[in-house]
Chains A and B, each alone.
Chain A
């Protein structure tokens, strides 16, 4: 079937309208249907659609719009731009856009060049902290070992309810 408007392409959009009991049918090709505003462009990427939806949803959640207005003095990125791209513009953004990371977690791991960063006075403080941590760690890890053993046994016995409980306990302990 040919498109009613351009009379060249094949009609792929078939529209039946009933207005005041009057029935009209139109058969159009994709291009003409788009021009008439009947269909939307079919190539809208799913990612774009989803991220704009999520952004819209989060914006409506916020009571004040001030946060999304803040832009980084170095690279000019705003909260809104970050939400859309999921990419930050420069290292400074981690200070400007607080929601970029989970504020509770801190870095555990290596430092650039493998060189320790801390100045001597702070280091002593930190060493004390490390010692304390080690203490609580050793009792913690003992418990964790036991829990792990119990968990393995529970899995072997196919007691998944118990296993789930033990797993949650382990998680809590590790945190």
Chain B
């Protein structure tokens, strides 16, 4: 499969029909695993990394054979070599949330096995030997967990994981020790932002041992009011409990607050709200040069306008699609050539005008 097959279409986890998808964009569960009898990645030499890569790659690519009886089949899966891939390909995979910046910037033999439907990705030789991830649109963490648990069991039967009965799965960074699970949910919270309540959310999240990050995870600031909320505790709490807390307590509460904030805007600040949405629309429909930062910011406002019923003529799918299509690597791969920042800003504005007018 060629990467430009990915770049021209929407990720499945960007579906507007999923539960709470006006506020919860997507759910992700990832597991950190290491192979017993090997050092962790930072102390591995090239030969050892290659050995681990080959073994895990073979095991995962043969998973479909053991997939009988799973709730959801894996679908077509294929391997992408990150060590020898181009910078543009790596960026594309980052933009589609299939690999981390860490894997892209790493050294030596490494890669990722992804499902063609983009709902599963297994990064090999990232911070840990294996980082499994399963995605779903909207708030769907229990489904993600069921699926990744099946996949992890199947791999665990073929590969001996580094595991201690007392400490659980042994990971390169102690912050993942135990279950190695990271449950994260990507949220769109323009209402809380406009009503100046994000600080409250961050404080509450800190109290509950949750991490709140920008759209692309670790070390990135929030762009366009998208936030990723994830758990931080992995030792002494089971996977099911972690997932359940997110599904029944944490996320529904945040969604409720966002809805309250939006209702308040509709009652009290209709003019400000409509002004912001109309300005976003005007710029996106007419700009000739636009940076990805500005585009994200304005698309976020427009997305809010559609979800709050203030904009009727544009579908939410168009906006979701534009979030991906206007990213730097997507623009370049779809155009079929490398572009500098200025050329990208022009092409981005063109793409926006074509889709929105």
**B42 and chain A: residue at smallest CB distance:** A87
A113 lies within 8 A of B177 (CB): no
Q: Smallest CB–CB gap between B59 and chain A, Å?
A: 12
Chain A residues near B149 (CB-CB < 8 A): 110, 114
Interface size class of A (residues with CB under 8 A): 20 to 34
A:110-130 near B, CB below 8 Å: 110-115, 117-118
Q: Does A24 contact B (CB under 8 A)?
A: no
Q: Does A70 contact B (CB under 8 A)?
A: no
A88 lies within 8 A of B172 (CB): yes
Chain B residues near A85 (CB-CB < 8 A): 42
Map CB proximity to B onto A100-142 as digits: 1 under 8 Å, 0 otherwise. Answer: 1110011111111111011000000000000000000000000
Q: How far is the CA of A86 from the CA of B127 in the complex (A)?
A: 11
Q: Which of A76, A77, A109, A118 contacts B239 (CB 8 A)?
A: A109
- Given A100-B174, A101-B235, verify A113-B153 contact (CB < 8 Å): yes
B:153-170 near A, CB below 8 Å: 153, 156-157, 160-170
Q: How far is the CA of A94 from the CA of B171 in the complex (A)?
A: 9
Chain B residues near A114 (CB-CB < 8 A): 149, 153, 156
The A interface, classified by DSSP as helix, strand, loop or mixed, is loop
B173 lies within 8 A of A101 (CB): no
- Given A101-B235, A117-B165, verify A110-B173 contact (CB < 8 Å): no
Q: Does A90 contact B (CB under 8 A)?
A: yes
A112 lies within 8 A of B166 (CB): no
Map CB proximity to A onto B163-198 as digits: 1 under 8 Å, 0 otherwise. Answer: 111111110111001110100000000000000000
B236 lies within 8 A of A105 (CB): yes
Q: Smallest CB–CB gap between A108 and chain B, Å?
A: 5
Q: Does A73 contact B (CB under 8 A)?
A: no
Q: Smallest CB–CB gap between B67 and chain A, Å?
A: 15
Q: How far is the CA of A91 from the CA of B238 in the complex (A)?
A: 21
**B152 and chain A: residue at smallest CB distance:** A110
Q: Does A53 contact B (CB under 8 A)?
A: no
A74 lies within 8 A of B39 (CB): yes
B177 lies within 8 A of A89 (CB): no
**A148 and chain B: residue at smallest CB distance:** B249
Q: Does B47 contact A (CB under 8 A)?
A: no
B43 lies within 8 A of A107 (CB): no
Q: Smallest CB–CB gap between B10 and chain A, Å?
A: 33
Chain B residues near A106 (CB-CB < 8 A): 166-167, 235-236
- Given A88-B174, A105-B235, A107-B168, verify A112-B161 contact (CB < 8 Å): yes
Q: Does A75 contact B (CB under 8 A)?
A: yes
Q: How far is the CA of A87 from the CA of B152 in the complex (A)?
A: 23
Q: Which of A89, A90, A102 contacts B235 (CB 8 A)?
A: A102
Chain B residues near A109 (CB-CB < 8 A): 168, 178-179, 181, 237-239
**A117 and chain B: residue at smallest CB distance:** B165
B239 lies within 8 A of A110 (CB): yes
Q: How far is the CA of A87 from the CA of B173 in the complex (A)?
A: 5
Q: Does B27 contact A (CB under 8 A)?
A: no
**B237 and chain A: residue at smallest CB distance:** A108
Q: How far is the CA of A18 from the CA of B296 in the complex (A)?
A: 52
What are 9 A-B residue pairs whose CB atoms fall within 8 Å in the complex?
Answer: A91-B34, A91-B170, A94-B167, A101-B177, A107-B168, A107-B178, A108-B179, A109-B178, A112-B156
Residues of A that sit less than 8 Å from B by CB: 74-77, 85-91, 94, 100-102, 105-115, 117-118, 167
The 9 closest A-B pairs by CB, nearest first: A107-B168, A113-B156, A105-B236, A89-B43, A112-B156, A91-B162, A109-B179, A114-B153, A90-B39
